[in-house]
Amino acid sequence: MVRGPDFLRAASDAEFRIGLCEWLARELPALAAGRGPAAMNSIEFRLAWENHICKAGLSGLGWPREVGGHALSLSRQAIYHEEVARAGAPLPVNMIAHGIVAPTLIAFGSAEQKRRYLPRILDNSEIWCQGYSEPDAGSDLAALALRAERRGDVYLLNGQKIWTSFAHLSDYCLLLARTGQGSSPRTGISVMLTDMKLPGISVRPIRQITGEADFNEVFFDNVEVPATALLGKENEGWRLAMAAANYERSTYFVPRVVRLQSELEQLIRLASRTYRHGCAVIDKPSVREELTRLCINAHALRLFADKILADSEAGEASGVDSSAIKLLWSENHQRLFNLAMEVLGPEAALGPQELNSPDEGRWVREYLWTRAETILAGTSEVHRNIIAERGLGLPR
Amino acid sequence: MSRQRSTPFFDADLRDGVAAALEDCMQKTKNMDARAMQEAHWRLAADMGWLGAMVTEEQGGLELGRAFAADLCAEAGRALFCGPLLETAILLPALAAECSSLLPLLNGVVAGDVRLGLAEECSGQVLVQYADAATHIAVLNCSTDTLSVTFAPSTAFRCVMLQPLDPRSSVACAELIDPDVAEHIPLQREAADRVLHALYMAQAADLWGIAEAALLATVSYVVERRQFGRPIGQFQGVKHRLADIHTAVDAARLAIATTVDDAAGAHEAAIARILACDAALAASGAAIQYHGGLGFSWEADLHLYLKRALRLNASTGGTAALRSTVGERIIMRALEADAA
Ligand SMILES: Cc1cc2nc3c(=O)[nH]c(=O)nc-3n(C[C@H](O)[C@H](O)[C@H](O)COP(=O)(O)OP(=O)(O)OC[C@H]3O[C@@H](n4cnc5c(N)ncnc54)[C@H](O)[C@@H]3O)c2cc1C
């Protein structure tokens, strides 16, 4: 099956990049239709853009052809993510589906599960969320307690998830549940492909410090999930969940590093057009010094991202590099917006939804959002522990 | 035993009285919108006489002095008081002491009828804090040695309300439309020093209150919250960072305690504000981080500390600019001492 724009079949990486850039330069501004930075990052536009990409055939880039993918090499996938980010496209909403669920299904799903779910991820008609964290199982994920009891050909689910991003928009959930008591907490966990419309599931949005409500509490009250929703083997879900987390790693940071670099460039521009007491803020030694540090760290980040990609292409495990890059990225991203608040001066006291502030409030909005980045996908403390214990071999 | 509240700057009974009244009021007003909350908090401040803390007894004030003012502002920060308390109760009397035409306003300050919105110029526009309820607005223009203040009734300004970062504040973009009623108050060296001393000290105390409250909230959470079978406060990654913040909070407290001294000036108060601001940003940031997902949720209220700290950090020229001014002065003094 041949689908998608021609550049997908380019002979060289360079041609691939050129074709992609041309496509992006045409399609993104057309869809954005004069939206400013705030509207470009709204959920509504993020979904519209994502649907547009998928409709154009630009999804499943790395999937095998048998399941409707393009079987692109990792380096081309990286070019794709890099250029999309550079073009200023917003981050996808359905990233759990494309980044985690799809590769996990491809590796572990039954033929029936692949047939049922993959096409609707490919065209983005079904949105997925990730139901891992619970009130008492955050950093210690293996402590999760949501029960799934086998009753004939269904599982009966009881319990609660929390901080589930986009659960209120989702059709399905990649859910971790406890199906058995094993020798350690990690045995006895199973992965369920759970229909969010089932009776007994209720979703309560939780407001975030940004003022938006993108994450949720999800309650399961005697929810009957068909046994066919089980992914992989019963009680062996931990290994599967760990593998799932790994699929994303090779390219996850590529767009994020590009975004950080372009935010740095925009911050430099903001600082050079902002004047205080007659001087451009960019001329302040403290601002220049911090900008320099950030630029150098961004360079190091880029090198980490390249190394992780090269290692994945060579089939090598990334070791603790994925923890290192997560730390380096999230902490420098926070620092970047700390500096932005200083550059803004009195305007830093304006709210995240105030369109009359510089760049429609994006600096303050992102400042607040970056506080989450050292918490989600493994807190900074957890990643430091991993680096110390697995990277340096320090005693646990 | 976990960290307890610090000793007051002035008097324990008075401080605890302020704290208890504020806590009670915060409970009653926590579900109000910002406007209604500000009214309720303001009424409390007037009824308790806090607004007259720095006003002479002749003019109906309590004349309690700077040390009490520091306690009052610290409690306001801790409790997340909504309203221009330090501007009205501390800054305005300090300005009036230098500019007698403002003296008649002090009766109104004590009664709760006057509210001062502090404003700053920024890329051509003037941003005013608490403009929604302010009866008067003061635009501050600081340079290294002098300070000039444009003071006018708020009716002399046209204000457009904007969304504030700190939900317990309000902010407007303002334009002076009636310059004839505005008073321009140039303050020379010593007068400027006295006014800035009062302002920086009040801001430092508010920031310090935020810092200590955020630290205490985090300490009680990390001893309760368990992951991996033990309290997260047992992990050294958490312990060490909180130990650093504890030290920063205490350093800021010592610096504020010195500024209530008569010999202290704006320079010392600026140092206190810098230390308190660093402590407040660190403590409120750590509060979010160590509460995990909960810290990022609105309902946990921890963001209110961070946002208040950011608002104060950005005010009166910003802490970063203050740091370079203070730095210049320290270096200059050292070089002068060397030359002598
Ligand atoms: C914006 C956002 C979106 C999210 N989206 C999702 C989602 O879609 N699906 C999902 O399942 N989850 C999601 N999460 C949840 C996230 O994965 C958890 O918040 C995270 O794992 C931390 O768990 P916790 O919140 O329970 O904090 P805790 O684990 O209780 O941690 C509290 C603090 O203790 C520290 N700590 C814990 N253990 C240690 C240790 N051993 N050593 C040192 N310090 C330690 C932590 O670093 C943290 O600072 C999201 C979170 C956020 C903020």
Which tens digits make up the pLDDT trace of A21-45?
999 999 999 999 999 999 999 999 9
Residue B206's pLDDT is what?
Answer: 98
- Per the CB < 8 Å rule, is A208 touching B293? no
* CB-ligand 1 contact for B53 (6 Å cutoff): no
**Mean of pLDDT values over B217-238:** 98
- B298 pLDDT more than 70: yes
The ligand 1 atom at the shortest distance from the C-alpha of residue A372 is 53
Distances (CA, A) of A90 to A3, A5, A87, A164: 24, 20, 9, 20
In chain B, the largest separation of any two C-alpha atoms, in whole Å, equals: 69
Q: pLDDT-based confidence at B317, cuts 50/70/90? A: confident
Instruction: Select the CATH number that applies to the domain covering B1-111 from these four: 1.20.120, 3.30.420, 1.10.287, 1.10.540.
Output: 1.10.540
| Pairing, β A201-206 against β A189-195 | unpaired
pLDDT tens for residues B244-258? 999 999 999 999 999
Catalytic residues of A: 248
The three-state (H, E, C) secondary structure of B295-311, written as one string: HHEHHHCHHHHHHHHHH
| Pairing, β A189-195 against β A230-231 | antiparallel
* CB-ligand 1 contact for A128 (6 Å cutoff): no
Look up the CATH number of the domain holding residue A299: 1.20.140.10
- B21 pLDDT more than 60: yes
Q: pLDDT-based confidence at B243, cuts 50/70/90? A: very high
Residue A74 CB neighbours (<10 A): 17
Across chain A, mean pLDDT equals: 96
- B276 pLDDT more than 80: yes
- Per the CB < 8 Å rule, is A208 touching B297? yes
Look up the CATH number of the domain holding residue A40: 1.10.540.10
**Mean of pLDDT values over B291-298:** 98
* CB-ligand 1 contact for A381 (6 Å cutoff): yes
User: Does residue A329 sit in the same domain as residue A266?
Assistant: yes
- Per the CB < 8 Å rule, is B296 touching A371? yes
- 3-class secondary-structure state, position A195: strand
Alpha carbon distance A343, A331 (integer Å) = 19
* CB-ligand 1 contact for B234 (6 Å cutoff): no
Q: pLDDT-based confidence at B144, cuts 50/70/90? A: low
Residue A342 lies in a domain: yes
What is the domain count for chain A?
Answer: 3
Instruction: Name the amino acid, one letter, at A349.
Output: A
Answer whether CATH 1.20.140.10 is correct for domain B190-339.
yes
Residue A104 lies in a domain: no
A187 within 8 A of A180, measured Cβ to Cβ? yes
Residue B123's pLDDT is what?
Answer: 64
Q: pLDDT-based confidence at B1, cuts 50/70/90? A: low
Residue ranges of B 276-315 with Cβ closer than 8 A to chain A: 285, 288-289, 292-293, 295-299, 302-303, 306, 310-311, 313-315
Q: Which two tokens stand for residue A380?
A: 């900074």
CA of A285 to the centre of ligand 1 (A): 37
The three-state (H, E, C) secondary structure of A279-308, written as one string: EEHHHCHHHHHHHHHHHHHHHHHHHHHHHH
**Mean of pLDDT values over A225-244:** 96
ipTM: 0.97
Cβ-Cβ contacts under 8 Å for B153 (sequence gap 6 or more):
B135, B136, B137, B181
CB pairs under 8 A between A and B: 126
**Tokens 């308190």 sit at which residue?**
B276
Alpha carbon distance A158, A173 (integer Å) = 15
CA-based nearest residue to A302, from A86, A27, A56, A71: A86
* CB-ligand 1 contact for B241 (6 Å cutoff): no
Residue B153's pLDDT is what?
Answer: 98
Instruction: Name the amino acid, one letter, at A268.
Output: I
User: Does residue A71 sit in the same domain as residue A141?
Assistant: no
Residue B3's pLDDT is what?
Answer: 81
Q: pLDDT-based confidence at B146, cuts 50/70/90? A: confident
pLDDT tens for residues A270-288? 999 999 888 999 999 999 9
Who among B162, B237, B310 is closest to A348 (CB)? B310
> For chain B, which residues make up each domain, given as ranges?
1-111, 115-187, 190-339
- B136 pLDDT more than 60: yes
User: Does residue A162 sit in the same domain as residue A214?
Assistant: yes
A348 within 8 A of A358, measured Cβ to Cβ? no
Residue A31's pLDDT is what?
Answer: 97
Q: Which phi and psi angles does A376 have, rounded to 5°?
A: -80, 160
Please give, rounded to a whole number of angstroms, the shortest distance from the CA of A227 to a CA of chain B: 31
Alpha carbon distance B223, B226 (integer Å) = 8
Alpha carbon distance A45, A148 (integer Å) = 37
CA of B244 to the centre of ligand 1 (A): 22
User: Does residue A210 sit in the same domain as residue A260?
Assistant: no
Distances (CA, A) of A142 to A176, A239, B224, B337: 10, 11, 20, 63
- A319 pLDDT more than 90: no
CA-based nearest residue to A240, from A384, A113, A331, A371: A113
* Residue-range definition of the domain harbouring residue A161: 128-236
Share of chain A above pLDDT 90, in %: 93
Residue nearest to atom 4 of ligand 1 (CA): A163
CA of A82 to the centre of ligand 1 (A): 28
More confident residue, A183 or B183: B183
Who among B163, B317, B324 is closest to A286 (CB)? B324
Residue A286 lies in a domain: yes
pLDDT tens for residues A302-314? 999 999 999 999 9
Residues B130, B133, B136, B138, Cα dihedral to 10°: 0
Alpha carbon distance A222, A154 (integer Å) = 11
- B279 pLDDT more than 70: yes
CA of B233 to the centre of ligand 1 (A): 15
A85 within 8 A of A255, measured Cβ to Cβ? yes
Considering only CB atoms, which chain B residues are within 8 Å of A374? 289
Look up the CATH number of the domain holding residue A169: 2.40.110.10
